[in-house]
């Protein structure tokens, strides 16, 4: 149905373009280099025959696949993002193609001894005999979410080439800056005009998700006083040492490396420090709203407690909510999850319905009036040098998109 070579070629044409986003930028897209892929996608959507292809001043791409029937059918959407994570380099991506994977270690980089091993990444064993696309050990791959884009474009092209398949109006959107939590901030839901949508932004084949973390960022600033160390007694205040007090006072086992499923966490992801000033950057995550609010209060109370010890104003904290659990917006519209589940089952794909330990554009869009569960894009080990994607998973994801379009028409 979807030729492997065509999927590979399309995917490689996307990942070779560096689209890393930048959380410190105030523009949208947050990096100029995202425009290169954005304009390529606009040209491609036009060339395959989609209608109403637009790109706005902030890099949001939208297009229409017209209905092939006059039957009243809900307008559905499919969404993916074209930026990649700022956490790991995406410059000069040079993918490797592993055909007929044999279940053994994959040497990504001989010189640096970087090995993708099933003894550590056990999910690899699911894909013996399949074709894998990996990194060369120097960059991330960008399957998050260029695999999703590949799948949506491939499915749209297939539906254009097969007008005998009855489906309603389908809307497509590609967004910038999802990786820095801003992918939906300037998304025009009214212009998009879909009744509901699906993000193609999950991981392994079968994933179907309508729950995600509630999320916030927290920046803790510790102010010290620098004095010549030879004359520092009772004068010098070392902000880096005070930061140790803050870090060690949070629950040590409530961190990403010690939690799973619906367990929340505090994640310290950046430290910048000197005697006079240290900055700690955290993300706060929890599926339960009550626990999420409690985590924020724990950090605020800890700042207050340490200020009593070291002096008012020594520690400051800023907390900003990023997104919320879309479950409360999806549950009143569970038929859209049911359709996706039926689509997978009809294709002999076992649905893996579980909460996302992260977020997608869909979590924000759901609160903006566009219910938007998440479907697998097929990749694994996102945001790093061990990232890979099975080509067969991308093929299946495209099939799921086509089947959702068919079932939506049949069930309407």
**296-348 per-position pLDDT tens digit:** 999 999 999 999 999 999 999 999 998 899 999 999 999 999 999 999 999 99
Asked if pLDDT for residue 359 goes beyond 90, the answer is no
Q: What is the pLDDT of residue 358?
A: 82
Using DSSP, state whether 31 is helix, strand or coil: coil
Closest to 395 in 3D by CA, of 1, 125, 9, 126:
1
Q: Is the pLDDT of residue 410 over 90?
A: yes
Q: CA-CA distance, 36 to 146, in Å (whole number)?
A: 14
Q: Give the per-residue pLDDT at 181.
A: 87
* pLDDT for 192 beyond 90: yes
Concerning whether 18 is annotated as a catalytic residue, the answer is no
Cis peptide before 145 (omega within 30 of 0): yes
- Asked if 106 and 115 touch (Cβ cutoff 8 Å), the reply is yes
Report the distance separating Cα 9 and Cα 25, nearest Å. 32
What pLDDT is stored for residue 260 in this prediction? Answer: 93
C-alpha span between 1 and 155 (Å, rounded):
10
CA 409 to CA 343: how far, in whole Å?
12
Query: Higher model confidence: residue 275 or residue 181?
Result: 275
Beta bridge partners of 222: 278, 315
CA angle, 351 then 354 then 359, to 5° = 120
CA-to-CA separations, 389 to 11, 35, 125, 379, 396, in angstroms, rounded: 10, 24, 13, 4, 12
Mean pLDDT of the chain, nearest integer: 96
Per DSSP bridges, beta strands 196-202 and 106-109 are: unpaired
User: Residue 48 burial by CB count (10 A; 0-12/13-18/19+): exposed, middle or buried?
Assistant: middle
The active-site residue, picked from 44, 145, 177, 178, is: 178
User: Count of CB atoms within 10 A of residue 254's CB?
Assistant: 17
Strands (E), 37-169: 51-55, 61-65, 76-81, 96-98, 106-109, 114-116, 132-134
Provide the strand spans (E) within 66-177: 76-81, 96-98, 106-109, 114-116, 132-134, 170-175
pLDDT tens per residue, range 131-167: 999 999 999 999 999 999 999 999 999 999 999 999 9
pLDDT (0 to 100) of residue 143 = 97
Tokens representing 109 are 């980089």
Q: Give the pair of three-digit tokens for residue 206.
A: 């079968």
Structural contact between residues 246 and 302, judged by C-beta atoms closer than 8 angstroms:
yes
In the residue annotation, 178 being an active-site residue is answered as yes
Distance between CA atoms of residues 15 and 224, nearest Å: 44
Q: What's the distance, Cα to Cα, between the start and end of the chain in Å?
A: 25
Among 44, 83, 179, 387, the one annotated catalytic = 83
Token pair recorded at residue 35: 């425009």
Residues 6+ apart with CB under 8 A from 41: 61, 82, 149, 153, 174
Q: How confident is the model at residue 1 (pLDDT cuts 50, 70, 90)?
A: confident
Give the integer Cα–Cα distance in Å for 299 and 305.
10
Question: Residue 305: what pLDDT?
Answer: 97
Tokens representing residue 396 in the block = 């299946």
Which of the residue ranges 22-26, 76-80, 354-358 would you say has the lowest mean pLDDT? 354-358
Which two structure tokens, joined as six digits, stand for 356?
Answer: 């996302």
């Amino acid at each position: 149905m979807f030729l492997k070579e065509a999927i590979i070629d399309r995917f490689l044409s996307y990942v070779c373009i560096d689209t890393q986003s930048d959380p410190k930028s105030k523009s949208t897209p947050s990096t100029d280099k995202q425009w290169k892929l954005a304009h390529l996608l606009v040209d491609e959507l036009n060339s395959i025959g989609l209608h109403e292809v637009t790109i706005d001043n902030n890099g949001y791409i939208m297009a229409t696949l017209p209905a092939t029937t006059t039957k009243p059918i809900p307008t559905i959407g499919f969404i993916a993002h074209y930026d990649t994570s700022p956490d790991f380099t995406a410059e000069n991506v040079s993918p490797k193609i592993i055909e007929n994977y044999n279940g053994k270690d994959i040497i990504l980089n001989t010189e640096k001894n970087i090995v993708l091993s099933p003894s550590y990444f056990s999910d690899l064993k699911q894909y013996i005999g399949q074709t894998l696309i990996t990194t060369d050990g120097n960059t991330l791959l960008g399957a998050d979410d260029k695999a999703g884009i590949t799948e949506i474009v491939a499915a749209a092209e297939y539906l254009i080439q097969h007008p005998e398949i009855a489906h309603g109006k389908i809307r497509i959107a590609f967004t910038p800056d999802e990786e820095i939590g801003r992918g939906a901030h300037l998304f025009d839901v009214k212009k998009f005009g879909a009744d509901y949508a699906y993000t193609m932004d999950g991981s392994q084949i079968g994933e179907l998700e309508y729950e995600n973390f509630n999320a916030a960022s927290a920046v803790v600033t510790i102010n010290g006083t620098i004095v010549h160390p030879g004359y520092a007694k009772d004068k010098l205040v070392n902000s880096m040492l005070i930061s140790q007090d803050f870090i060690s006072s949070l629950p040590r086992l409530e961190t990403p490396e010690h939690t799973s499923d619906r367990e929340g966490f505090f994640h310290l992801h950046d430290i910048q420090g000197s005697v006079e000033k240290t900055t700690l950057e955290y993300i706060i995550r929890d599926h339960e709203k009550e626990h999420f609010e409690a985590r924020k209060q724990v950090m605020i109370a800890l700042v207050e407690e340490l200020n009593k010890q070291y002096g008012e104003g020594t520690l400051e904290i800023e907390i900003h909510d990023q997104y919320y659990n879309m479950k409360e917006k999806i549950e009143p519209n569970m038929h859209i999850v049911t359709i996706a589940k039926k689509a997978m089952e009809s294709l002999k794909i076992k649905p893996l319905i579980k909460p996302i330990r992260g977020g997608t554009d869909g979590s924000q869009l759901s609160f903006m009036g566009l219910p938007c569960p998440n479907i697998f894009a097929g990749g694994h080990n996102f945001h790093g040098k061990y990232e890979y994607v099975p080509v067969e998973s991308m093929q299946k994801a495209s099939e799921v998109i086509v089947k959702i379009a068919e079932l939506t028409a049949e069930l309407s």
